């Protein structure tokens, strides 16, 4: 919800909405934007919301970027939380939109969150360890787990992201839908 969102908002013609669970962070980012003379074209809309239950209407966004939210939700101890976040992201994503998830966790764990959410039917691993799924053909016939119905993601690919030389910490994997 921070600098990345502000940078994206600076692109002409792009509306950016940044969501974070922390009201303190949202207030801080909003204040920083105001202090920098923000509020005009390219301004970021900052919202304090729970990613498991967003207030936005369905199909509101062309792109959804999740940066470690699922990693944090995994720590909640609630087994269905990650699937709820994924279902909400799929719900607010417009048809044909792009969902990008960046994770420090195992890609298979992320794919499992998508399967539990009912937005994927299956996933296949290739020889390089990347996982992908084309749900386009199966979207109509695939039954979602536990009777969950809703949007389907058309394609999912998980890609290894190498750490920068000498980097102490960097995401081990990147996951894109």
Greater pLDDT, 65 or 168: 65
Same domain, 93 and 24: no
Beta strands in 61-169 (DSSP E): 61-67, 93-103, 124-125, 131-134, 155-160
Q: Domain containing 33: what range?
A: 1-49
In this predicted model, what pLDDT tens digit does every residue of 96-147 receive, in sequence order? 888 888 877 777 777 888 888 888 744 444 444 344 433 333 333 333 334 4
In this predicted model, what pLDDT tens digit does every residue of 5-35 receive, in sequence order? 555 555 667 888 999 999 999 999 999 988 8
Domain count of the fold of the chain: 2
Same domain, 172 and 116: yes
How far is the C-alpha of 56 from the C-alpha of 4, rounded, in Å? 21
State the pTM of this model. Answer: 0.67
How far is the C-alpha of 146 from the C-alpha of 58, rounded, in Å? 21
Same domain, 95 and 154: yes
């Amino acid at each position: 919800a921070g600098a990345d969102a502000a940078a994206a908002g600076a692109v002409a013609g792009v509306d950016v909405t940044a969501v974070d669970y922390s009201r303190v962070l949202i207030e801080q980012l909003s204040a920083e934007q105001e202090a920098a003379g923000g509020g005009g074209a390219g301004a970021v809309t900052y919202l304090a919301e729970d990613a498991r239950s967003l207030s936005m209407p369905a199909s509101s966004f062309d792109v959804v970027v999740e940066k470690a939210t699922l990693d944090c939700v995994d720590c909640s101890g609630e087994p269905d939380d990650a699937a709820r976040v994924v279902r909400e992201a799929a719900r607010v994503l417009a048809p044909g939109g792009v969902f990008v998830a960046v994770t420090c966790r195992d890609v298979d764990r992320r794919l499992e969150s998508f399967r539990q959410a009912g937005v994927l039917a299956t996933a296949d691993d290739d020889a390089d360890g990347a996982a992908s799924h084309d749900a386009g053909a199966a979207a109509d016939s695939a039954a979602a787990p536990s009777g969950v119905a809703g949007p389907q993601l058309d394609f999912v690919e998980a890609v290894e992201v190498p750490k920068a030389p000498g980097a102490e910490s960097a995401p081990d994997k990147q996951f894109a839908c």
